[in-house]
Amino acid sequence: MKAISIGLLGLGTVGSGVVQIIENHQDKLMHQIGCPVMIKKILVKDENKERTVHIERELLTTNPDDILESPEIDIVIEVMGGVEETKNYLLKALQNRKHIVTANKDLMAVYGSELLSVATENGCDLFYEASVAGGIPILRGLVDGLASDRITKMMGIVNGTTNYILTKMSKQGSRYEDVLKEAQELGYAEADPTSDVGGWDAARKMAILATLGFSMNIDLDDVKVKGITEISEEDLSYSKKLGYTMKLIGIASRLENKVEVSVQPTLLPESHPLASVNDEYNAVYVYGEAVGETMFYGPGAGSLPTATAVVSDLVGVMKNMRLGVNGRSAVSPQFEKSLKQPGEIFSKYFVRLHVKDEVGVFAAITSIFSEHGASFEKILQMPLKQNELAEIVLVTHRTSLQDYEDILQKLNDYEMVKEIKSTYRVEGEGVI
Ligand SMILES: NC(=O)C1=CN([C@@H]2O[C@H](COP(=O)(O)OP(=O)(O)OC[C@H]3O[C@@H](n4cnc5c(N)ncnc54)[C@H](OP(=O)(O)O)[C@@H]3O)[C@@H](O)[C@H]2O)C=CC1
Ligand SMILES: N[C@@H](CC=O)C(=O)O
Ligand code: NA
């Protein structure tokens, strides 16, 4: 029976894993789809580059049209990264009625809805499971597994690089620069790792998760983002002292028809399931009105784990080809986008201050919080060696983001507060 022909855009960390899995799992693929899978062409930048997998030289090309225009090729697997140029490649592939599997969250977070509608118009599948949380089948989990439920909150560790960094810094006292370099050598980090450590990689994934989970078109611009580059050793040590673990958490929450999507370093109680997700592992904690609390866990980065999600999507396309139902899986969003305002976002907050160690300062700080209806759940005060200063660490009870931003402004204006050293969201107590 006729083999299904694949064109691969990219042969790097993930592309090499895809080649390995297709080669090593041919029997399983054959059993599931009833025909062999052949890689016909692979697009690369440099044909002479050393590869981690053995590839016949004639398979390589630097001309994308050898794939996009080839009548032989049924499915294009995009694992090259990039946005604008890659988008044009995928549009051309779809217009030539080639199905697409991609791992590219940068592309899907910005152009996903446009690409999905072009795919549907051309009767093509466009699957992107690997774009969020690598090898974890979270997108299928949301779309298929939880299709009958109304999801109200998702909290995710969806960037392996930053989770690897925070794990080593917290548990081994490693230096940030050293661990970032390790994550790059292990192939976890993006070509430009500022996307990882700045929180933007996680933000793109949260935009994709929220769009699917809330059935609402959430754009990258709707996501509030703060990365891990300012986290200090003092913050990590105080977190531990207060019974928390620091993680870069993506939050997507819904109240009636309004949603909030954000990414920030977040303190979680050590008892929270996400607190024990370490190294390059990812996890997405999903709360549905009917199902309650669920968690999807696994490797979020790395060659074979990510390639597993890519090849599983490939199997999905090929099964649809056999049934003749390609191009019907994308469901357009059900709801108009409606974002929560800061007065509608509630959380606890950790704040670390350096203040003048004088009578009445703490009382004045307490008044600033109480004037905005905020009180304290935990308080620590330590003397500092220099200039009669004290270090105060506070964890508030739940308060609105609006009130908290007003409090921070007032603290900044108060002359006895020398500096607001750091502040973090505290999540995960009570109903996630
Ligand atoms: N690494 C991971 O753990 C994960 C990655 N992803 C996503 O998967 C995609 C690929 O990531 P990864 O494999 O790590 O990236 P790499 O940088 O390791 O590989 C990129 C590949 O694409 C080729 N390439 C890049 N740009 C071009 C171009 N303009 N023309 C031709 N070939 C090009 C490169 O060619 P050459 O080899 O010749 O340089 C290389 O083979 C990205 O979108 C990434 O965000 C998603 C989840 C996890
Ligand atoms: N750089 C990303 C790779 C997977 O998406 C990460 O660290 O998670
Ligand atoms: Na995934």
Domains and CATH numbers, the chain: 4-132+303-323 (3.40.50.720), 138-299 (3.30.360.10), 342-426 (3.30.70.260)
pLDDT at residue 131, rounded to an integer: 97
Measured between alpha carbons, how far is residue 324 from residues 92, 248, 319, 327, 417 in Å?
A: 22, 42, 9, 9, 67
- Please give the distance, rounded to the nearest whole angstrom, from the Cα atom of residue 140 to the centre of ligand 2: 19
Report how far Cα 64 is from the mean position of its chain's Cα atoms: 29
Measured distance CA(43)–CA(191) in Å, rounded: 18
pLDDT at residue 1, rounded to an integer: 65
pLDDT at residue 279, rounded to an integer: 95
Query: Exposed, middle or buried: residue 14 (CB in 10 Å: 0-12, 13-18, 19+)?
Result: buried
**Using an 8 Å Cβ cutoff, are 357 and 383 in contact?**
yes
Mean pLDDT by 10 residues, the chain (432 residues): 91 97 91 91 97 95 98 97 97 98 96 96 97 95 95 96 96 94 90 94 97 95 97 95 97 95 97 94 96 94 93 96 90 92 96 95 96 95 86 97 98 97 90 48
pLDDT at residue 328, rounded to an integer: 87
The neighbouring-strand residues paired with 29 are none
User: At a CB cut-off of 8 Å and minimum separation 6, what does 236 contact?
Assistant: 166, 169, 170, 246
Measured distance CA(260)–CA(341) in Å, rounded: 8
Please state, as a whole number, how many other Cβ atoms lie within 10 Å of the Cβ of residue 415. Answer: 6
Tokens of 357: 């160690």
Measured distance CA(132)–CA(139) in Å, rounded: 7
Instruction: Round the CA-based radius of gyration of the chain to a whole number and report it.
Output: 24
State yes or no: is 348 an active-site residue. Answer: no
Binding-site members for L-homoserine are 190
E strands of 240-280, at which residues?
244-255, 258-269
Binding-site members are 9-16, 105, 190
Q: Among all ligands shown, which has an atom nearest to the Cα of 164?
A: 2
Measured distance CA(365)–CA(371) in Å, rounded: 10
Measured distance CA(138)–CA(145) in Å, rounded: 9
pLDDT at residue 69, rounded to an integer: 98
pLDDT at residue 386, rounded to an integer: 73
Determine the residue type at 290: A
List phi, psi (to 5°) of 126.
-135, 105
Measured distance CA(226)–CA(349) in Å, rounded: 15
Q: Give the residue whose CA is nearest to atom 3 of ligand 2.
A: 301
pLDDT at residue 432, rounded to an integer: 47
**Using an 8 Å Cβ cutoff, are 242 and 378 in contact?**
yes
Please state, as a whole number, how many other Cβ atoms lie within 10 Å of the Cβ of residue 153. Answer: 20
Tokens of 23: 């080669």
Within 6 A (CB) of ligand 1 lie 10-15, 43-46, 49, 79-82, 85, 103-105, 130, 134, 187-188, 190-191, 301-302, 306
- Please give the distance, rounded to the nearest whole angstrom, from the Cα atom of residue 198 to the centre of ligand 1: 20
